[in-house]
């Protein structure tokens, strides 16, 4: 294997000073054409490339940002990464990514790994922001911005979706159309985002003096298959519902498939709305109603915020919520009266 060569050896081989080699490589300052060609020949012969990391460490800047994510599946996290990377590249920063599969020990380990890699800031996307995360982040000498979760801490900034508000607003839209018996298919009880959406749904019912029926308020696992199963369970308790809200598009499509298999026409008999607006919504034969919010914007806003914190001389707290739009399409209509 060819041994790395340093700038001193390039200068020695070319018979010039280190400063002259540096001027040639960086295309700065005045160098005689004959000297430039001699140095360029040595650079080509040796394959010399300056040790950028060493220089950045000497300047106490690595231009590295770490991103810890809980998974790399689905649409959300890949789009978030694209948004983060776009902003970092525009600002001459590079990105290091770690995937933890939602394991808290792995998350804690990668905070330390990134710190040892001298990253200047960390973006942290987790399913659940816990006390252990909070305690570790407060001790770190570098800024951290949490993605997807509210931290409820004024020392730890975050960028998230307003899950509670858009779920409540979507429920109110169905109620305003005349729906009074609405079922809800939620996510795992361990998912903070899913729980916020479920709470928004329940509070909308309560504020409109409508009953929260636990038999019609289910928890699932985000999949199409489970959406089908949860809808089947709901129908076994009550076939008089006029609308269903699902925590994501997959479960909404599963619910539609189940309703159709039971000869229940969507939306004439039962309206269906997903608290999502992914490619699955477009793949559905029936245009699915949903809530659109941008994971790409989540990544961009997170990257902008972490860079502001890196460049700031004083730590600061900021919360940013990504805007949303509710779309009522073919899967929702006013309930029919018989």
Q: Is residue 254 part of a domain?
A: yes
Query: Residue 231, exposed/middle/buried by CB under 10 A (0-12, 13-18, 19+)?
Result: buried
Q: Does 36 lie in the same domain as 129?
A: no
* Helix orientation angle between 33-46 and 7-14, rounded to the nearest 10 degrees: 130
71 and 172, same domain (yes or no): no
Q: pLDDT at position 110, please?
A: 96
Establish if 337 belongs to a structural domain: no
Contact residues for 222 (Cβ-Cβ < 8 A; gap 6+): 187, 188, 194, 247, 248, 250, 251
How many domains, the chain?
A: 3
Give the per-residue SS3 of 315-326. CCCCEEEECCEE
If asked whether residues 46 and 72 sit together in one domain, one would say no
4 vs 10, 12, 45, 144, CA distance in Å? Answer: 11, 15, 12, 35
How crowded is residue 297: how many other Cβ atoms within 10 Å of its Cβ? 17
Reported pTM: 0.80
In a domain, 30, yes or no: yes
Residue 171 and residue 152 in one domain: no
Tell whether 76 and 154 lie within a shared domain. Answer: yes
Task: Answer yes or no: do 149 and 180 share one domain.
Answer: no
**CATH (domain of 212):** 3.40.50.2300
User: Could you tell me if 249 and 187 are in contact, meaning their C-beta atoms sit under 8 angstroms apart?
Assistant: no
Per-10-residue mean pLDDT for the chain, 338 residues long?
65 85 73 84 74 54 93 88 96 95 93 92 92 91 94 86 97 97 94 94 98 93 94 91 95 95 96 89 82 96 97 90 95 84
Examine the domain organization and report whether 41 and 73 are in the same domain. Answer: no
Are both 187 and 233 inside the same structural domain? yes
The pLDDT score that the predictor gives to residue 243 is 97
User: Is 248:239 a contact under the CB 8 Å cutoff?
Assistant: no
Is residue 156 in some structural domain? Answer: yes
Same domain, 247 and 139: no
11: domain CATH number is: 1.10.260.40
Q: Is residue 333 part of a domain?
A: no
* Structural domain range at position 28: 7-50
246-283: burial string, b at 16+ Cβ within 10 Å, e else: bbbbbbbbbbbbbbeeeebebbebbbbbbbbbbebbee
One domain for residues 116 and 216: no
**Domain shared by 179 and 286, yes or no:** yes
**Is the domain of 204 the same as that of 249?**
yes
């Amino acid at each position: 294997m060819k041994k790395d060569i340093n700038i001193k050896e390039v200068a020695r081989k070319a018979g010039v000073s280190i400063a002259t080699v540096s001027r040639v490589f960086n295309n700065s300052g005045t160098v005689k054409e004959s000297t430039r060609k001699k140095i360029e020949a040595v650079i080509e012969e040796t394959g010399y490339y300056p040790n950028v990391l060493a220089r950045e460490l000497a300047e106490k800047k690595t231009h590295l940002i770490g991103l810890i994510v809980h998974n790399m599946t689905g649409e959300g996290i890949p789009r978030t990464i694209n948004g983060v990377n776009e902003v970092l590249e525009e600002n001459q920063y590079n990105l290091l990514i770690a995937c933890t599969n939602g394991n808290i020990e792995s998350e804690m380990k990668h905070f330390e790994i990134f710190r040892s890699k001298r990253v200047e800031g960390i973006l942290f996307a987790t399913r659940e922001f816990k006390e252990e995360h909070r305690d570790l982040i407060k001790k770190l000498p570098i800024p951290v911005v949490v993605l997807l979760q509210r931290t409820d801490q004024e020392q730890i900034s975050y960028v998230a979706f307003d899950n509670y508000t858009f779920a409540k607003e979507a429920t109110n839209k169905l109620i305003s159309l005349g729906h009074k018996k609405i079922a809800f298919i939620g996510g795992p009880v361990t998912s903070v985002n899913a729980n916020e959406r479920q709470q928004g749904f329940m509070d909308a019912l309560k504020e409109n003096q409508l009953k929260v029926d636990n038999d019609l308020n289910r928890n699932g696992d985000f999949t199409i298959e489970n959406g089908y199963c949860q809808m089947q369970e709901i129908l076994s308790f009550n076939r008089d519902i006029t609308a269903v809200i699902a925590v994501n598009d997959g479960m909404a499509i599963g619910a539609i498939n189940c309703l159709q298999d039971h000869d229940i026409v969507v939306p004439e008999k039962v309206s269906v709305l997903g608290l999502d607006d992914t490619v699955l919504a477009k793949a559905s034969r029936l245009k699915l109603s949903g809530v659109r919010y941008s994971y790409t914007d989540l990544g961009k806003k997170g990257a902008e915020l972490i860079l502001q914190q890196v460049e700031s001389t004083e730590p600061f707290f900021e919360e940013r919520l990504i805007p949303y739009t509710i779309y009522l399409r073919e899967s929702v209509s006013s309930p029919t009266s018989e």
